[in-house]
């Protein structure tokens, strides 16, 4: 069977989409205190939109994949630790863990140093689209790779499962000619009960063409920081708006609220993988910080897969 060839613009669309969703939704995350803080630090001196830890860790993962050609936990952990800056919006628990790694603690210990069973948050999932890109042509290795990169910081089974699902959805979204590819890919996954319950709801909405409201999505799928409260939500939103303008997806995410930047990063990465960089809003890209670096990394990742 010939190997699938993926256009470079789809890699660019995924990473730039992730960063754009992250940066555009960051001002709407959390409560009034978080929003006030981001109002103060959310733009560069040149007036560009800043992205958060979601994009930083996706960049770290992509660059590690380019350098090592596979998921190398030790290499990845050091990248994460070196890149840590509180001003990127890292959570307190993530900051403590990454500082431990920077001081020399092995990541296999640090990833359980804050939570005994490991974090069940969506931090491993928010960067997982890079795994979806890199392993799209090697689907038999994708699940293991997505789990391996997640474990560096998120050792809880739910945190790992969320990362596998987001990577799977991203790889499926590259099949633009198949509108139901994302749904079919998630259907083929062995989901644990909390994810399966939410996917059954989301899949039913998609199959029926039902336009669930933000209130319904929040109540039945979730909009929180836990992987189980956000990963199915992001996949549902990306699939629902896969053929619609990016602005429509963003508008719904703004109204949905919650962990807005990470939901935006995951959903927009999947959307960008399907539609490519040309479909992203040019005015948004023009205001996005470090867009040339993001493009360079996306292109290097694509070249590494060729």
- Concatenate the DSSP letters of all residues of 75-87 into one string: HHHHHHHHH--GG
**Is residue 247 assigned to a domain?**
yes
**Is residue 203 assigned to a domain?**
yes
Q: Could you give the number of structural domains in the chain?
A: 1
**Is residue 92 assigned to a domain?**
no
Model confidence at 1, pLDDT cuts 50, 70, 90, reads: very low
Taking CA atoms, 30 is separated from 75, 115, 214, in Å, by: 32, 22, 15
pLDDT confidence of residue 116: 86
Q: What is the pTM of this model?
A: 0.96
Examine the pLDDT at 114 and tell me if it is beyond 60.
Answer: yes
Over range 133-140, report the average pLDDT. Answer: 96
Given the structure tokens 């770290």, which residue do they identify?
60
Residue 225 tokens read as 């920081």
pLDDT confidence of residue 83: 97
Model confidence at 5, pLDDT cuts 50, 70, 90, reads: confident
Phi, psi of 43, rounded to the nearest 5 degrees? -130, 150
Q: What is the DSSP secondary structure assignment for residue 47, as one 8-state letter? A: S
Q: What is the pLDDT of residues 248-306, one digit of tens each?
A: 999 999 999 999 999 999 999 999 999 999 999 999 999 999 999 999 999 999 999 87
**Is residue 3 assigned to a domain?**
no
Examine the pLDDT at 177 and tell me if it is beyond 80.
Answer: no
Taking CA atoms, 31 is separated from 190, 227, 288, in Å, by: 35, 19, 24
Model confidence at 3, pLDDT cuts 50, 70, 90, reads: low
**Is residue 91 assigned to a domain?**
no
For the CA atoms of 120, 80, 37, 91, what is the dihedral angle to 10 degrees?
20
Residue 124 neighbours by CB distance under 10 Å: 36
Tell me what percent of the chain is helix, strand and coil, each rounded to the nearest 5. Answer: 70, 0, 30
**Is residue 169 assigned to a domain?**
yes
Examine the pLDDT at 176 and tell me if it is beyond 90.
Answer: no
Please report, rounded to a whole number, the percentage of residues in the chain having pLDDT higher than 70.
99
pLDDT confidence of residue 143: 97
Cα-based angle 160, 163, 168 (whole degrees, multiple of 5):
130
Over range 195-221, report the average pLDDT. Answer: 97
CATH number at residue 247: 1.10.4080.10
Over range 156-180, report the average pLDDT. Answer: 93
Q: Which domain holds residue 24?
A: 8-71+121-305
Q: What is the pLDDT of residues 148-164, one digit of tens each?
A: 999 999 999 999 999 99
**Is residue 142 assigned to a domain?**
yes
pLDDT confidence of residue 82: 97
- How far apart are alpha carbons 105 and 112 in whole angstroms? 11
**Is residue 83 assigned to a domain?**
no
When the pLDDT of each residue in the chain is averaged and rounded to a whole number, the result is 95
């Amino acid at each position: 069977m010939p190997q699938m060839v993926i256009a470079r613009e789809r890699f660019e669309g995924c990473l730039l989409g992730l960063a754009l969703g992250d940066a555009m939704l960051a001002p709407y995350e959390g409560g009034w205190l978080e929003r006030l803080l981001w109002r103060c630090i959310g733009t560069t001196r040149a007036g560009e939109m800043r992205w958060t830890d979601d994009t930083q860790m996706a960049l770290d993962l992509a660059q590690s994949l380019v350098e090592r050609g596979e998921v190398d936990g030790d290499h990845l952990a050091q990248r994460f630790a070196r890149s840590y800056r509180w001003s990127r919006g890292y959570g307190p628990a993530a900051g403590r863990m990454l500082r431990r790694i920077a001081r020399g603690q092995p990541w296999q210990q640090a990833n359980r140093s804050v939570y005994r069973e490991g974090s069940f948050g969506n931090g491993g999932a928010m960067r997982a689209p890079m795994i979806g890109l890199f392993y799209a042509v090697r689907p038999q290795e994708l699940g293991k790779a997505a789990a391996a990169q997640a474990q560096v910081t998120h050792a809880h089974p739910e945190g790992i499962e969320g990362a596998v699902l987001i990577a799977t959805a991203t790889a499926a979204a590259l099949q633009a000619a198949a509108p139901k590819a994302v749904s079919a890919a998630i259907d083929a996954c062995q989901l644990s009960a909390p994810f399966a319950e939410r996917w059954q709801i989301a899949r039913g909405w998609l199959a029926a063409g039902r336009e669930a409201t933000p209130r319904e999505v929040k109540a039945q799928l979730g909009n929180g920081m836990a992987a189980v409260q956000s990963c199915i939500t992001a996949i549902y939103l990306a699939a629902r708006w896969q053929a619609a303008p990016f602005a429509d997806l963003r508008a719904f995410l703004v109204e949905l609220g919650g962990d807005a930047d990470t939901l935006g990063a995951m959903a927009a990465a999947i959307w960008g993988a399907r539609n490519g960089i040309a479909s992203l809003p040019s005015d948004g890209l023009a205001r996005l910080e470090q867009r040339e670096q993001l493009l360079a990394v996306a292109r290097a990742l694509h070249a590494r897969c060729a």
